[in-house]
Amino acid sequence: MNVIKVIIVDDSAVVRQVLSALLNAASGITVTHAVANPLLAIERMKVQWPDVIVLDVEMPKMDGITFLRKLMAEHPTPVVICSTLTEKGAQTSVEALAAGAVSIITKPRLDLKQFLHDSADELVSAVRAAAGAQVGKLASRRPSLAPLPPPVTAKLNADVILPPMEARQVMATTERVVAVGTSTGGTQALEEVLSALPRVSPGIVVVQHMPEKFTAAFSARLDSVCQVRVKEAENNDRVLPGQVLIAPGGRHMLLRRNGAQYFVEVVDGPLVNRHRPSVDVLFRSVARAAGANALGVIMTGMGDDGAAGMLEMLNAGARTVAQDEASCVVYGMPKEAVKRGGVEKSVPLNAIYREILLQLQS
């Protein structure tokens, strides 16, 4: 296995020291340089180009966003953003993801060293996922955002949130629902799909793997570039035509039904498939509440979250679509869904919006 070469760019000496130690301790990863600003990084990269860059976004001399845009325009390279857990940090990180970064790891302002040690598995997973991402596809698309790879913890399934569906038929209704699950590379893919939709579109519920506090900024950005309304979901929000509800980071989102109307329930709970929110939790709830009234869409991402839930949706009568391998940044989640038999058809990213609009005709 080739060793993943990493450059760390962060103006905090403590962050550089701790991140270097954690990554160098992981098998198959080596930190070639840890520097205080992008100008120093550019000099080091002239000698040896890295496989992954771990990048702070708020730095002197040249900020991370300017560096990232220059990098993606001239030499697309996987970038993991290292961002503070603040509202400003979230907004800046969303801008960085829109410029082509692959994912985000977070850091607090206090107890930084202990936090980074506690998040070692997440950091290593993020770097490994980034090393396998096809960032040329991100650079060639219109700007958008990106997700968090799964941390290494005990893996639970959707049973911990919602029991499996009983064999029964869901009553038909004129209301249609589209459930979308996505992860690494998915924020840019989501923007491409959602910005192509007209105002008259079916109600959409989305799980995008992303840290807590970041989904609000992500939703606001999508809302600014889409004809449909996009918002971070709140408990009891109605699923309405022309509206997209994004599951909040750190919470699971379930579809519920009251008569002919659908709404979402936002709940706490353990990680499912090492994620919260989990695509499997959403998809299982859609199978139970909507059945044949639903469309399931699984898009680019690492791991297998959503594969089991998509099969449950198909078995409940829903239509199911996966993003094809050629258009995925990471063909992990769609591949697993196809392998398990839950996908009716795979289509390119630029055809997914048409599949969504077909829900209005079904």
**Lowest model confidence (mean pLDDT) among 74-78, 84-88, 222-226:** 84-88
Q: Is the pLDDT higher at 127 or at 64?
A: 127
Average pLDDT over residues 316-339: 95
8 Å CB contact between 307 and 290: no
Catalytic option among 56, 219, 305, 346:
305
CA distance 32 to 30: 6
Whole-angstrom CA distances from 302 to 98, 215, 219, 360 are: 19, 19, 21, 30
Question: How high is the pLDDT of residue 103?
Answer: 87
Over residues 89-124, the pLDDT tens digits come to 788 888 888 888 888 888 766 677 776 667 788 889
pLDDT at 183: 92
pLDDT digits (tens, 9 = 90+) for 3-45: 999 999 999 898 899 899 999 999 999 999 999 999 999 999 9
Q: Which of 267, 220, 265 is nearest to 244 (CA)?
A: 220
For the segment 319-340, the average pLDDT, to the nearest whole number, is 95
pLDDT at 349 > cutoff 90? yes
In this predicted model, what pLDDT tens digit does every residue of 162-180 receive, in sequence order?
A: 677 665 555 556 689 999 9
Give the tokens for residue 319.
Answer: 């239509």
3 alpha carbon, distance to own chain's centre: 25
Q: Look up 209 and say whether it is catalytic.
A: yes
Q: What is the pLDDT of residues 270-290, one digit of tens each?
A: 999 989 999 999 999 999 999
How many residues appear in the chain? 362
pLDDT of residue 147: 39
89-93, 113-117, 222-226, 235-239: segment of lowest average pLDDT: 113-117
Confidence of residue 318 (pLDDT cuts 50, 70, 90): very high
59 falls in which pLDDT band (50, 70, 90)?
confident
- Residues whose CB falls within 8 Å of the CB of residue 131, separated by 6 or more in sequence, listed in order: 4, 51, 52, 78
CB atoms within 10 A of CB 309: 31
Q: Are 260 and 174 within 8 A, CB to CB?
A: yes
Worst-scoring range by mean pLDDT, 66-80, 166-180, 233-247? 166-180
| Mean pLDDT in residue range 141-152 | 40
Residue 181 pLDDT greater than 70, yes or no: yes
The pLDDT of residue 170 is: 54
Of 209, 278, 285, 304, which one is the catalytic site residue?
209
Question: Average pLDDT in the 179-183 region?
Answer: 96
20, 183, 201, 346: which is the annotated catalytic residue? 183
Q: Confidence band (pLDDT; 50, 70, 90) for 152?
A: very low
